[in-house]
Amino acid sequence: MPLIENEKIKPFRLVKYFTIISLVVIFIGALVLSFLNIHWARAMQLKKSEEYALVLVENLNHQVFLQFIIPVVLKFGKIELSNPDQFERMDTIVRSTLHSFKVDMVNIYDTNNTISYSFDKQLIGRKNMGGTGYEYAISGTPTSTLVQRGNFWEIPMGFPKESRLTTFAPIRAERQFLRISGPVLGVVEIVQDISEDYQTILSFQLLVIATCVVVMSILIGVLIYVVQRGEAIIQQRTQEQLSLKEKLAQSERLSSLGGMVAGISHEIRNPLGIIRSSAELLKKKVAQFDPSNSIPEIIVEESSRLNLIITDFLNFAKPRLPQLAACRIDDILEKNIVFITPQIQDQGYIIVKHFAHHLPEIQADSDMLYQAFLNIFMNSIQAMPEGGKIQVSIQSAGRIVTVCIEDEGPGVPEDLLERIWDPFFTTKEKGTGLGLGIVKNIIESHNGSIRAENRKGELGVRVIIELPITNIGDSAIQ
């Protein structure tokens, strides 16, 4: 059965695995796409910062040329930033031009790669500090370099603590109506702190990733819930189909068996009746000559016992349809108890009743239910050969009446609980194994259900019977 069940669920599991893998691939693709977008955003930001730096250099070049170089040359004849007045004038022009812009450092080099002006006065006069950026700029080509600082995992992951853009650009003499078109007079180095811009991009990146994670987590959670529900439904339907197939196969077997048993029982009953009648007649004649001879009596008793067995066979093989009429479960059980009490009261058995008040009437065949309850009582008595307590309770809830009969016997192994209703199955040394099968047929013919379970924490078996208050055929009967 598990193999068939797995075969039925396998296609659904294939869809489940395919869907989960698809979501994972989409999630990974979304993350990759977000990283590519962030890379593109950083590239755009870097390009924007480079262009911004060139605009600053152009503006600074213009201001320095007009407000410093021309006036100083006219006044002093030459430019000497070592002169305090000239340096102060240059510092004022540079700082006022770059005021409110995110510029951390400005260095101005002469044509000999010597720093003539700097925000950091300690750098003034140093030579060969420009490197390759200076070489490109002195030849007329501006360059920009991104410098990032962080520990060994911050930079590879894309969120350094500090990001600075260093731009080298030439300072040119301006011609009339045209900017930055004259000869190169020096090189300006501008250092911008773009850490805040990168932090903004990082925040956006984290937001995108977090959104992807949340959305995918919700989708995967919904998928897992749907899959679990689907598996449960499929498993339930598979179980129902298997149960129906088993019932159908069992019904077919029982039908064949019932026909065979009915035929054999009928053939046995006729000669058995002749044997019993002859034994009773023989008993009367033998009693006149040899009263101590018990052989005829034994034949009569065993014939009667065999007749009861055949009756069980016939009742199971050809169960009659219930003749429904209004009746009360408590009255039927009281009748059972009254019948068996004289037979068991001296053998150590006690019957304890727990009947609810105001129990409703049901539509049932009282004779058939009487036979079913009697079989259960006899089964409980046989399970306790040394005597014991039998508890009987009746409850009503909704449209169901529930009867519970409990004994204090050794119980039934868990793996055999479902088999006790099978025909010819018995755990006793004697018996046909048809008693509980007949009980099950009677209860199910009333659209009810019956099940058995071992009492938890105690010895004994509990038989639970549920019967509907209104049967399907009520309207036809009424």
Average per-residue pLDDT in the chain?
78
Q: Is residue 221 part of a domain?
A: no
* The last residue of a domain, from among 170, 193, 216: 193
Q: Are residues 188 and 328 in the same domain?
A: no
> What is the per-residue pLDDT for 477?
36
Q: Is residue 466 part of a domain?
A: yes
On the CB side of 127, CA atoms within 13 Å amount to 2
Q: Report which of 171, 112, 170 is spatially closest to residue 137, judged by C-alpha positions.
A: 170
Q: Is residue 299 part of a domain?
A: no
pLDDT digit string (tens) for 314-333? 666 566 688 888 999 999 99
Token digits of residue 465: 């019977």
> What is the per-residue pLDDT for 255?
65
Token digits of residue 379: 């089964």
> What is the per-residue pLDDT for 6?
52
**For the ranges 60-74, 394-408, 439-453, which has the lowest average pLDDT?**
60-74
Q: Is residue 316 part of a domain?
A: no
Mean pLDDT of the 388-404 span: 90
Domain containing 471 — which CATH number? 3.30.565.10
- Is the pLDDT at 17 greater than 50, yes or no? yes
Which among 84-88, 229-233, 255-259 has the top mean pLDDT? 84-88
Query: What's the structural domain count of the chain?
Result: 2
Check residues 35 and 477 and name the one with the higher pLDDT.
35
Token digits of residue 278: 């002859």
Going by pLDDT thresholds of 50, 70 and 90, the confidence category of residue 260 is low
Q: Are residues 189 and 329 in the same domain?
A: no
Classify 325 in phi/psi space as left (phi over 0), alpha (psi -120 to 50) or beta.
beta
Q: Are residues 40 and 184 in the same domain?
A: yes
Check residues 148 and 11 and name the one with the higher pLDDT.
148
**For the ranges 50-54, 75-79, 334-338, 419-423, which has the lowest average pLDDT?**
419-423
> What is the per-residue pLDDT for 427?
63
Check residues 373 and 67 and name the one with the higher pLDDT.
373
How much of the chain, in percent, has pLDDT values that exceed 70?
A: 80
On the CB side of 1, CA atoms within 13 Å amount to 10
State the chain's maximal CA–CA distance in angstroms: 171
What is the Cα–Cα distance from 12 to 23, expressed in whole angstroms? 16
pLDDT digit string (tens) for 181-217? 567 888 888 888 877 777 777 777 778 778 877 887 8
How far from 129 is each of 53, 93, 167, 186, CA to CA, in Å?
20, 23, 14, 14
pLDDT digit string (tens) for 269-301? 667 677 777 777 777 777 667 677 777 777 777
Domain containing 109 — which CATH number? 3.30.450.20
Q: Is residue 342 part of a domain?
A: yes
What is the Cα–Cα distance from 226 to 288, expressed in whole angstroms? 86
* The last residue of a domain, from among 135, 166, 193: 193
Check residues 29 and 326 and name the one with the higher pLDDT.
326
What is the Cα–Cα distance from 126 to 120, expressed in whole angstroms? 11
Q: Is residue 387 part of a domain?
A: yes
The amino acid at 154: E
Sign of the dihedral defined by the CA atoms of residues 299, 304, 305, 306, in that order: positive
Mean pLDDT of the 392-406 span: 90
pTM attached to this predicted model? 0.44
Q: Are residues 183 and 331 in the same domain?
A: no
Q: Is residue 33 part of a domain?
A: yes
Q: Is residue 233 part of a domain?
A: no
- Is the pLDDT at 234 greater than 60, yes or no? yes
Domain hosting residue 47, numbered range: 2-193
Residue 268's H or E segment, with its range, is helix 195-289
* The last residue of a domain, from among 135, 169, 193: 193
Going by pLDDT thresholds of 50, 70 and 90, the confidence category of residue 155 is low
DSSP letters, 464-476, are: EEEEESS-TTHHH
The neighbouring-strand residues paired with 164 are: 147, 193
Q: How many Cβ atoms from other residues are within 10 Å of residue 429's Cβ?
A: 5
